[in-house]
Amino acid sequence: MQQIALAVIGGTGVYNLAKLDDVQTHEVDTRFGRPSGPVRVGTLLGHRVAFLARHGEGHSLPPHKINYRANLAALQQLGAQRVLALNTVGGITEDFGPRVLACPDQIIDYTWGRISTICEEEGTDVVHVDFGHPYTPMLRSKILAAAKVTGVTVHDGGCYGATQGPRLETIAEIARMRHDGCDLVGMTGMPEAALARELGLDYACLAIIANWAAGCGDGEEITMAEVLANVQAASNGLPELVGELEGIIPFYRARLLVKPGLTGWAQVNYGKGASIEGSAEKLEYDLYYIKHRGLVLDLWIILRTLGRVVGFQGV
Ligand code: HPA
């Protein structure tokens, strides 16, 4: 069976993946119980992709009742190593208005009473995973690069505040979250991200902003109709983005196999002092290097590196 390189979890308003063809439906049982619904595995623009609706068929599960552990374990059991989480959210700060897509890089967890670890059961080994960067930086880079290639605008970064729901927040709660540093508010970002890390999955979030959070917009009531209409409008380019993401992944495997020039094409091209980790721009240089690698490019990299070492920036 062809390997599933990417699994997509759809949130509110995203109950299937357009352009997913030749779909096979899997009813999976896991050591954590049953996932939210069947997992659909199919071909998306030539790539093998799995899809699971987080809230179940017909949006039957509220955020606190979702079996996040079973959802992730089911995708892993089917062979997925990477998870793209689509989360419908409200926007708090000014760059995150309705219909914007964002790839957050931080989380604050305000949820309570949810099973938030795979070490819950008595007798299981306790793990303390590193969670400083809650979303897998390399997967974030790939998402941002795929967005660039497909012409889908995605905001790079932001802090996702995960609330308990299912009710929306009060104005005071959102004011507190803004003060805490949150840019986005949603109900399903946690414990999903932490569980993915514990299970050893690559995991990143693509947030679909459906409304201004309480007190951030024009004061009008937030309705489900508004949320769904905005999710639909913002989701148009998603199949292409996901397909492109799949196309980029094999390049990354190749990236690990090649030895770049002395410091690499990305480093010599990237701005001095800039952080290159997690950067879509670095990915573009990497892809360029992979496609054009050879003696001439390696010599050029070495020359430019030496130029930087001796401080002659013009090389
Ligand atoms: N708050 C929490 N979750 C959400 C919101 C919101 O305003 N909009 C969509 N999901």
Which CATH number fits the domain that encloses residue 25?
Answer: 3.40.50.1580
Question: Mapping DSSP to helix (H, G, I), strand (E, B) and coil, where does residue 47 land?
Answer: strand
pLDDT for res 265? 59
| 223/146 Cα distance (integer angstroms) | 32
pLDDT for res 263? 45
Shared domain check, 125 and 273: no
Instruction: Please tell me the residue having the least CA distance from ligand 1 atom 9.
Output: 89
**Ligand 1 binding pocket, CB closer than 6 Å:** 88-90, 163, 168-169, 185-187, 210-211, 213, 222, 227
How many whole angstroms from 257 Cα to the centroid of ligand 1?
A: 42
pLDDT for res 262? 44
**Residue 250 belongs to a domain:** no
- 89: closest CA among 261, 213, 267? 213
Pairing state between β 39-44 and 47-53: antiparallel
Q: Which backbone phi and psi does 231 adopt, to 5 degrees? A: -65, -45
pLDDT for res 71? 98
pLDDT for res 278? 46
How many whole angstroms from 66 Cα to the centroid of ligand 1?
A: 16
Shared domain check, 285 and 170: no
Shared domain check, 297 and 222: no
User: Which domain, by its residues, includes 305?
Assistant: 258-310
How many whole angstroms from 165 Cα to the centroid of ligand 1?
A: 9
Instruction: Please tell me the residue having the least CA distance from ligand 1 atom 10.
Output: 89
**Residue 253 belongs to a domain:** no
Atom of ligand 1 nearest to the CA of 168: 1
How many whole angstroms from 104 Cα to the centroid of ligand 1?
A: 15
Q: What DSSP line would sit under 15-46, residue for residue? A: -S-TTEEEEEEE---BTTB--SSPEEEEEETT
Pairing state between β 184-186 and 82-91: antiparallel
pLDDT for res 257? 47
**Residue 251 belongs to a domain:** no
**Residue 180 belongs to a domain:** yes
Peptide bond connecting 239 to the previous residue in cis, omega within 30 degrees of 0? no
| 169/19 Cα distance (integer angstroms) | 35
Atom of ligand 1 nearest to the CA of 187: 3
Atom of ligand 1 nearest to the CA of 169: 1
Shared domain check, 193 and 163: yes
pLDDT for res 137? 97
Q: What is the mean pLDDT of the chain?
A: 87
In contact, 193 and 85? CB cutoff 8 Å? yes
Q: Give the number of domains in the chain.
A: 2
Instruction: Please tell me the residue having the least CA distance from ligand 1 atom 2.
Output: 186
**Residue 56 belongs to a domain:** yes
In contact, 131 and 122? CB cutoff 8 Å? no
**Digits of tens for pLDDT over the chain (315 positions)?**
568 979 999 999 999 888 899 999 999 999 999 999 999 999 988 889 999 999 998 889 999 999 999 999 999 999 999 999 999 999 999 999 999 999 999 999 999 999 999 999 988 999 999 999 999 999 999 999 999 999 999 999 999 999 999 999 999 999 999 999 999 999 999 999 999 999 999 999 999 999 999 999 998 899 999 999 999 999 999 989 998 987 765 555 444 444 444 446 555 565 443 443 444 555 556 556 655 666 777 777 777 767 766 765 444
**Residue 182 belongs to a domain:** yes
pLDDT for res 249? 59
How many whole angstroms from 210 Cα to the centroid of ligand 1?
A: 7
Best residue among 177, 188, 211 to mutate for probing ligand 1's pocket (most ligand atoms within 8 Å of CB) is: 211
Shared domain check, 282 and 177: no
How many whole angstroms from 162 Cα to the centroid of ligand 1?
A: 9
**Residue 128 belongs to a domain:** yes
Q: What DSSP line would sit under 48-111, residue for residue? A: EEEEEETTTTTT-S-GGG--HHHHHHHHHHTT--EEEEEEEEEE-STT--TT-EEE--EEEE--
pLDDT for res 267? 57
The whole model's pTM is what? Answer: 0.81
How many whole angstroms from 51 Cα to the centroid of ligand 1?
A: 22
Which of 245, 275, 294 is at the close of a domain? 245
